A and B are shown apart, each in its own frame.
Chain A
Amino acid sequence: MHSQKLRKILSVLTQIIIYAILFLLAASTLLPYVLMVSLSFMAEFEMYQLPPKFIPTIMRWSNYIEMWQSQPWGRYIFNTLFVTVVVLLGQLLLVAMGGYALARMKFPGRDFMFKVFILFMMLPGVVTLIPGFIILNSLGWVDTFMALIVPSLGNIWGLFLMRQYMLSLPGSLEDAGRIDGANRWQIFWKLILPLCKPVLATVGTFTFLSMWRSFFWPLIVTRSKEMRVIEVGVAMFSSQYVTNIPAQLAAATLSSIPMILIYLFAQKWIVQGIKMTAGYDR
């Protein structure tokens, strides 16, 4: 009786400790974000007050007005949204077709091609930066939507994910389709693709997030303000010697809203994506 009580107390204590650790981890993850939002309403000198204040004494909405008026944010949002949506649709189509070809079709060099793709995943981005830029320049695509969209259409990580998923689908499905007179495209489009919704959602979610956050490539391949994207706009509040921290935090807060919404609606696919690619880096 006594030992049962002790066990119960121990179990409750363990639960409390686990929850306390989880709470601390969650708080440490959320704190920087909360701080970013809070600081975006302060003047710079208020950020340095001791003891630090987490809730602004005065809500300085003027930081947001200053941020909004200083740059063409409407244009940046349109560019980011347009590029993200086009890349998202293009990537999903391409990785699905590519994954299908690599998983379900037999042709010479298929496995070698897959290995080459995997090899390319390991190349650091900086290696392909100048060659990529030269190609775009020779095509006359620098400072156009083509430069922002076309190089992002390929997604080896997504291709890999699709291939692996399609390999797990039973071959009898395709046989049944063939018996019913479906051609290769119909089998892919009407039989295989609908079954790949979970993996398509995962790839789509990650693509959206990575395109929304993309910074360095758009910085390199765009020149005019008209072609810039949100993340580049956020960086515009830092000049060589001075950073307008409140305005930059206001811009960062605004730019994070779509990502938070996406996370709220698509957290299932994000978690699934992390599980499916455990051990692989994008």
Chain B
Amino acid sequence: MKNTFFSSKWSRIFIVALLILALSTVAFGKTKLRVTTWEGAEGTAIDESIIAEFVKLNPEYEVVYEAVTDDRYYQKVLTDIGAGTPPDVVLLDAEMIPKFFEGNFLTDLAPFLSRLAREGFSGSNVYEYFPVLVDIARIDKKIYSIPKDTSPMGIFYNKKMFDEMGVPYPPEDGWTMEQFTETAKQLTKDLDGDGQNDTWGFAFPSWVGIVVPLLWAGGGEVFSPDFSHTSGYLNSEINVKTYQTYLDLLKAGYAPTPQQASALGGSSALFYTGKVGMVLTGRWFNISIKGQIKKGLDLQVGGATLPFADINRKDTVSYLSGWSVPSGAPDKRGAVMLAAFLSSDLAQRKRCLEGGLAISANRAVAQLQGETDPLDAAFIKMLDYSRVPVGSQTKFYRPKFEDLWAEAFDKINVGGESLKSVLDWMASEMDKAIAKGES
């Protein structure tokens, strides 16, 4: 008899072994995916329920969910990347994308997403998201993050305080700097006649994340269009005029000084205790507001736009967090599938519509969200004209620009230096850093 491959004893053993191996792979060989996020306890519970759905639909995967809530989140992620064990999916603040991109740490998701979208995989169709959010995650036509949720910057106002003082609410579709100033003046009162203000119009905006959109809303820019320099933009006449208006309001006592605000517990404390009528911040403040109301705080809150120099030229910024896939992820398709699923319709509904944790990046879900929460609706409208944050377009924003602004504000607030001279100094320092490539 001819000794063929299949007739030899060892070959048969080999084939049987292969079959057993293949079967055992089907039965037990799950691919492990790891997702790292900064979510706290509440967000973690929601994410875990989303992941449970993903695993149910894709049983070939097993997912480890790693929540790192500390401010050393990025140190942890970079340690993992440095050690050659990056997570398969990582939650990134859009302003970290340029840094990760420069380190060549990110996968271009576009080809994976278009393939998954053709297969009808939920969360992979970029047209379901607000266009500005996809733009935030895009560098040179490549997409490095799938939008998770967003927070436009606007104003929260205390309706009860407005009512008690007989101050009209801010107009829904935008207002001017003059209207804002007038409102702030009307809300500032010395209630007990001791010569000291007991209520103020607004909590002074000194954080860089709100200062930049305020300057935009005033008609200015902070970087040149190609992000090669800041001189002539950051320290422009228009920016000086815009921010000087806020500083003048502060000086006139229509906002507590940063020192006073800090002593009284910060902006949130001032808002909850009815000390300030308006807080300029991101939509994320709504989570805390809802929590306080649930615990019994008698508070009614409205949402308004930032004040504009020109009502026909609206501007704000929308911050984004999104799911990225590190370049070292071994199973990229699986990782992108998970990333997309974490932003899928189901995920957006669970996180934003039911959980109320953020404004959904998905247009349809955000619309439903706006219908159920008027405060969210005010912020969702802002996405129509929101701009891409500077930080997601240039690596020179974080931390260089942020750190320099903190120093600049101290020079104004503590050092008493003029705004113009401080902005000139900051622009010059920024340009030097850009020239040297120091981010």
Contact = CB atoms under 8 A, between A and B. Distances in A.
A29 B435 CA distance: 49
Contacts of A242: 40, 284, 287-288
Interface of B: 34, 38-45, 64-70, 72-73, 76, 79-80, 82-85, 93, 151, 264-265, 268-270, 272-273, 282, 284, 287-288, 291-292, 295-297, 299, 321
B273 A49 contact: yes
Contacts, number: 104
Given A216-B72, A238-B40, A44 B291 contact: yes
Given A45-B297, A70-B45, A241 B287 contact: yes
12 contacts: A43-B295, A45-B272, A45-B297, A49-B273, A70-B45, A130-B82, A216-B72, A219-B68, A236-B69, A239-B69, A242-B284, A244-B40
Given A236-B67, A239-B43, A220 B76 contact: yes
B26 to A, nearest CB: 25
Contact of B70 (A71, A133, A235): A235
Interface in A225-260: 225, 235-244, 247
A223 B44 CA distance: 13
A96 to B, nearest CB: 33
Given A44-B292, A48-B273, A240 B321 contact: yes
Contacts of B70: 215-216, 219, 235, 238
Nearest to A226: B64
Closest 6 CB pairs of A and B: A239-B40, A48-B269, A241-B284, A43-B295, A70-B41, A45-B272
Nearest to B282: A241
A236 B291 contact: no
A4 B299 CA distance: 67
A133 B79 CA distance: 8
Contact of A43 (B42, B85, B273, B296): B296
Nearest to A44: B292
Contact of A134 (B39, B83, B291, B299): B83
Contacts of A60: 295
A129 interface: yes
Nearest to A251: B41
B66 A45 contact: no
A142 interface: yes
Given A43-B292, A70-B45, A244-B40, A223 B272 contact: no
A240 B37 CA distance: 10
Contacts of A244: 40-42, 291
Contacts of A220: 76, 79
B406 to A, nearest CB: 19
A241 to B, nearest CB: 4
A143 B85 CA distance: 12
Contacts of A219: 68, 70, 72, 76
Contacts of A49: 273
Given A48-B269, A134-B83, A240-B321, A71 B41 contact: yes
Nearest to B70: A235
A235 B44 CA distance: 13
Interface of A: 43-45, 47-50, 60, 70-71, 129-130, 133-134, 137, 142-143, 215-216, 219-220, 223-225, 235-244, 247
Contact of B79 (A43, A70, A130, A236): A130
Contacts of B264: 48, 50
A241 B151 contact: yes
Given A44-B272, A48-B272, A137 B292 contact: no
A47 B273 CA distance: 10
Nearest to A233: B41
A24 to B, nearest CB: 21
A153 B281 CA distance: 47
A225 B66 CA distance: 7
Contact of B273 (A45, A216, A225): A45
B150 to A, nearest CB: 12
B81 to A, nearest CB: 10
A241 B40 CA distance: 10
A214 to B, nearest CB: 13
A129 B79 CA distance: 8
Contact of B265 (A47, A129, A239): A47
Contact of B69 (A48, A216, A225, A235): A235
Nearest to A228: B67
A53 to B, nearest CB: 12
B192 to A, nearest CB: 13
A224 B272 contact: no
Given A223-B64, A225-B67, A247-B41, 11 more contacts: A44-B268, A44-B291, A44-B292, A44-B295, A48-B272, A133-B83, A225-B44, A239-B38, A240-B284, A244-B40, A244-B291
A115 to B, nearest CB: 30
A240 B287 CA distance: 12
B69 A238 contact: yes
A92 B127 CA distance: 61
Contacts of A137: 83-85
A87 B295 CA distance: 42
Interface centre among B41, B292, B299 (most CB of A within 10 A): B41
A240 B93 contact: yes
A235 B284 CA distance: 19
B297 A43 contact: yes
A45 B297 CA distance: 7
Contacts of B295: 43-45, 60
A133 B295 CA distance: 43
